[in-house]
Amino acid sequence: MPHMSPRPLRPVLASLLAAAFAAAPAGAAGLQPTGQFSVPAAAYVATPPMGWNPWNAFRTEVTEAKILAVADTLKQSGLADAGYRYVDIDDGWWLRRRADGRIEVRTSMFPSAAMADGQTSLRPLVDRLHALDLKAGLYTDIGRNACSQAWDAHSPNLPVGSVAEREIGSLEFQEQDMRLFFGEWNIDLLKVDACGLADFGPAKAAVKAGQFRALAPLMVRAHPERSDEGKVEGLYASLAKAIATVRPLGDYVLSICTWGEASVADWGRRQGNAWRTSADISATWASMLRNFDSAEQRALYAGPGHWNDPDMLEIGNGEFDAAHLTQARAHLSLWAMLSAPLILGADLTRMPQELIDIARNADVVAVDQDPAGNQAITLMRDGDTQVLAKTLAEPGAVAVALVNRGERPAGVSLPLARLRLGAQAGVTVRDLWTHQSRALAGDAIAMTLAPHETALLLVKGQAAPAQYLDRMPASVNVAEDGRAALGRTLPAGWVPARVDAAPSGAALTVGGKRHQDGIGVLDNSRLEVRLDQPYSRFLATAGVLDESRAAARRHAISYRVYGDGKLLLEKRSAAPVQLNVPVAGVRILELVAADSQKAAGPVALAWADARLEH
């Protein structure tokens, strides 16, 4: 292969970066009703993807033999039958990018990729996985270079050749690479990392040494105010468009991996099917909780076809190995309550049977894969104890997780009234780990939990006469989050739209009254609510949260309720307002909180006790 000099900045790169601005939030225009639920339909990932990824077990030391051994284990162990069907190839599979732009596979690791005509192709391996009734996943980067090139400098399996040959990321090659991956190689899932946008700036030592071309960082870790969110989203948007030209029916999964940076958790649902909400997980209890927390407050951003992703499961590794079965059960329970992708990360060929049994627990997997697609919400938090509830598709059915995050035994008691079932009489409770029924403690569910224990329960009762919006987050889309009108980065820890709390995380307190249920939003926001059942009325208390009174200076907010694009009610007030709106026959409800005045800071509002009555 002749030496290749670095390519100059191509016109396509400039156009990609310019087009990125088209993905920015719509601002005031986004407050106009559409009469639609605007999250793209994605029936092919109606439930979170499940499978295996080699990175946590092998990093770049993955081979075709290891992948096929794990694939066989998935089939023989029953894990594939339980739903774990995606078999991914992560970083390390590539050798170089040729002068014609085609990526060459490292055949020393993937011998079946060597074709008789001198080309290389992953199609033979993909075909073998498909023949096992499994699906094939692949890895790339949204920039020019991959994460291993930034962080695994001593790996023997890094791309080789000139600077240009080692640019194996998708930047400047999106259409060509997507035709190769999804067309010629017929993959089913693509994980798209983002080190290429963060780790190859002009100040990096390897860039200064001439090993890589400089790319001014579009993402700065832990500094959202210094990241160019619009350009990052735009690059993922153009990549998704390139995939769609190859797979017009959208029979694929696009997994966005920006580790929670560039506000991806706010926009990922517009461009992909899953998006990382955190830094990489490690096999410790503290890391698992940190990653869980990164997604736990973002229930309104997930639902069928689009999922918060706190990273892979560490079951079988470190503090989740066979000596830590309590922790392994808790790990899977929490991911199931999040409706997170269930991607195993250990070497399954060495996994003990007791851990296989944990991973394939059909009752727990069913919570993750429930067709309603609701992510759990936190009902109670007291020190190290936490109670989560997840509304299931079966009327009157709720998954409940009682969590002890701490190092000592802890008691937890959940009043049945907080589940908002139709009646407390006749309620049943089943433990999904012991598969035994549990008795109620009067009008509550009460347990003493061991350190690091999570009890996962299936609670069944009568369906409630009213459906609270916080309990049906998959039916709510944050169509406009208010950040564009704000014109500044939100303070750390804020979530633009949040169930049962203000965007800041504070309680929903309106006019001096605290509300347990509701949705906290920023002003100049619009929520779309999909009504999958016939309802007669929408009721709520709408108002500026007490914590924002100083910033709002008590100016009036316009609260508008639309049904299928038509204005049903508008109230403009500086004080809280009571809403009681007929919605018979409505399919899409839209809730707009509009404020044209300039505020001293972020103004947060609440749609408190927002509910639909039959």
Exposure pattern of 103-129 as b/e (b: 16+ CB <10 Å)?
bbbbeebbebbeeeeeebbbbebbebb
CA distance 21 to 583: 37
Question: Which pair of tokens denotes residue 103?
Answer: 């990526």
| d(C-alpha 215, C-alpha 167), whole Å | 12
CA-to-CA distance for 87 and 73, rounded, in angstroms?
Answer: 11
Q: What is the CA radius of gyration of the chain?
A: 25
- Whose tokens are 């914590």? That residue is 547
Q: What are the φ and ψ backbone dihedral angles of 169, each rounded to 5 degrees?
A: -75, 170
DSSP for 282-326 reads -SSHHHHHHHHHHHHT-GGG-BTTBEEE---B-TTSGGGSTT-HH
Rounded Cα distance between 461 and 391, Å, is 12
- CA–CA gap between residue 233 and residue 267 (Å, rounded): 7
Residue 328: its H or E element = helix 325-337
The catalytic site residues sit at: 193, 280
**Residue 83 region, left (φ>0) first, then alpha (ψ -120 to 50), else beta?**
left
Q: Which residues does 81 contact at the CB level (< 8 Å), separation at least 6?
A: 360
169-201 core/surface letters (b: 16 or more CB in 10 A; e: else): bbbbbbbbbbebbbeebbbbbbbbbbbbbbbbe
Q: Which residue from 60, 23, 40 is spatially nearest to 218, judged by alpha carbons?
A: 23
Q: What is the DSSP string of 561-576?
A: EEETTEEEEEEEESS-
Q: Which residues are CB-contacts of 91 (< 8 A; sequence separation ≥ 6)? A: 55, 59, 60, 139, 146, 147, 148, 152, 193
Which tokens sit at 160? 């080789």
**Segment 206-209 long-range contacts (CB within 8 Å, at least 24 positions apart):** 206/150, 206/153
| Total residues found in the chain within this entry | 614
- Comparing CA positions, the residue from 189, 612, 603, 445 lying closest to residue 591 is 612
Query: CA-CA distances (angstroms) from residue 240 to 189, 247, 249?
Result: 12, 10, 12
Full DSSP string of 381-398 = EETTEEEEEEE-SSTTEE
Let me know if 554 is exposed, middle or buried by CB neighbors in 10 A (0-12, 13-18, 19+): exposed
Whether the CB-CB separation of 528 and 588 falls below 8 Å is answered with yes
